[in-house]
Chain A
Amino acid sequence: MIKINGLSKTFKKQEVIKNLTINFNEGEKIALIGQNGAGKTTLIRCILGQYIFEGKMEVLDMNPRKDRGSILQDVGFVPQTPPPLKMTVGELLKFFNKLTNTPEKEFINLAHSMGLTIEDNLSKPFFKLSGGMKQKLLIAFALGRQPKILLLDEPSANLDPQAREILFDLLQNFRKDSLMILSSHRMNEIKSLVNRVVEMDLGNIVVDKTVIPEIVSSI
């Protein structure tokens, strides 16, 4: 689903991703791990078409920059930090519904399953919600679309233990033919979820192993 060949990304003469070659395939649930500055978020932003880069990358057989619109119809994304969106929750629902042709009910139901009642917060600006509520809503928007590719950058950072458990349950039962890339510092937490582990360090891949979910903890 994602083919990367010789990808490099440089910011002001500093190479953040170095000649990266890797493929991410259908059905894979990947833990993308590494310390701060390893290049995980940069890689995700390249996949989203937000960065210009050297080398070749194909996402769903398309160019992530030139064919952004078509690709992003099939990509769900949860950022590390919820953005301070000024729009209300109700507006956000309509916005997602129009842009992704997904019925609002899908998002509402997913939010319910994580313990968030959207109906009570429709007129509240998104940025005024609590950290956990924001994160739950963003997860509902990403998963509710049933995308082919799911990119999650530290998705459980603001969640309480119960919501975290529900999230992992949702991810475990997410469509099996999708590609899921989960960027996280907490390997222990996602070990039961993934079937491949990719570790980055200073822009390089240092570990790339296919694993059986239960024995990931040994890596």
Chain B
Amino acid sequence: MNSGFKEILILDIRQNLRSKWFWVYSLMFGGFVAVMFAMGITESQIIGFVGLSRLMVTFMQVSMVILPIYVLISTVRSVVGDRESNVMEYVLSLPISFSGYFWGKFISKFITVFVPVFIALLGAAIWGTITNIDVPWDLFALYGALLASMIFCFLGISMFISAVAHSQDLAVSSAFIIWLLLVAFLDLILMGIMLKFRFNPEMVIGLGMLNPLQVFRTAVLVLFDPKLTVMGAASYYILDTVSRGVFIIFAISYPIILGLVFGVFGNRNFNRKDII
């Protein structure tokens, strides 16, 4: 039997493409790459990064700031918003399974968030090739995977909140608090905890590795020589302790697993209660 997954997926992608948010978001990332080229960022050399790798690292750092909060705020309303506006009452009076509806929305959002950032990154690589700048393809592949992994992770968290929240306001507030917590538990607070409570470094590293933002931040620099001033204390510690190969596998798979776990629990909750 048709679960309605494909129909919801196609419909939701079309709806996302029509929204102003999507175009502002796409232009922002595309424009950012263009501005970096125009400003000659590939020709400058600061703390060891040069050429397109410098542009890509900067792009990833900007993505780390923008993507999680964009994904959270733009997705967290999807299920609870449909519930409040009676869209869900009507759409789910049609032969669409609850899971088809939930995962259709999930995957459509993943595609519409990931594709613009990936195209921006790919555009930078293509422009680099055309203008004879060395393109670090290993870095390109790693960054593509890291972006996909982080987006999936935050989508899972958002869809979970959206499925369990009773109102859009509550969903947005929860998403914002989670983002703040994850940002706060980057280097600064981690190191503070370590010094204040005299925890052993392994424990602090363990805490850091639970934070998908910290994992992303560290993984962005994993292919470069570890320098404390560039990486921040937590990343430096992590890369000094764990082998690079293992860390790359972890940095890509952990956020995906985390997103999937949240997604599965969100879907389970959605399937087991009143939908309106």
Binding site secondary structure of chain B: loop
Binding site secondary structure of chain A: mixed
Q: How far is the CA of A15 from the CA of B31 in the complex (A)?
A: 56
Is there contact, CB below 8 Å, between A79 and B273?
Answer: no
Partner pick for B89 among A50, A72, A95, CB 8 A cutoff = A50
Is there contact, CB below 8 Å, between B274 and A52?
Answer: yes
Contacts of A48 in B (CB 8 A): 92-93
Q: How far is the CA of A48 from the CA of B95 in the complex (A)?
A: 10
Known contacts A87-B11, A87-B14; is-contact A50 B86 (Cβ 8 Å)? no
- Number of A positions contacting B (CB below 8 A): 27
Is B15 at the interface (CB under 8 A from chain A)?
A: yes
A92 to chain B, nearest CB (A): 9
Partner pick for A95 among B7, B18, B85, B97, CB 8 A cutoff = B7
Chain B residues 81 to 121 lying within 8 A of chain A, measured CB to CB, are 85-87, 89-98
Contacts of B11 in A (CB 8 A): 87, 91, 95
Chain A residues 158 to 215 lying within 8 A of chain B, measured CB to CB, are none
Is there contact, CB below 8 Å, between B90 and A79?
Answer: yes
Known contacts A72-B94, A77-B93, A83-B87; is-contact A98 B7 (Cβ 8 Å)? yes
- Number of B positions contacting A (CB below 8 A): 28
Chain B residues 33 to 66 lying within 8 A of chain A, measured CB to CB, are none
A-B contact pairs, 15 of them (CB 8 A): A50-B92, A50-B274, A50-B275, A52-B274, A73-B95, A79-B86, A79-B93, A81-B86, A83-B86, A86-B15, A87-B14, A87-B15, A98-B2, A99-B4, A99-B95
Given A50-B275, A70-B1, A85-B91, 6 further pairs, Cβ under 8 A: A50-B93, A50-B276, A51-B276, A52-B272, A52-B273, A83-B91
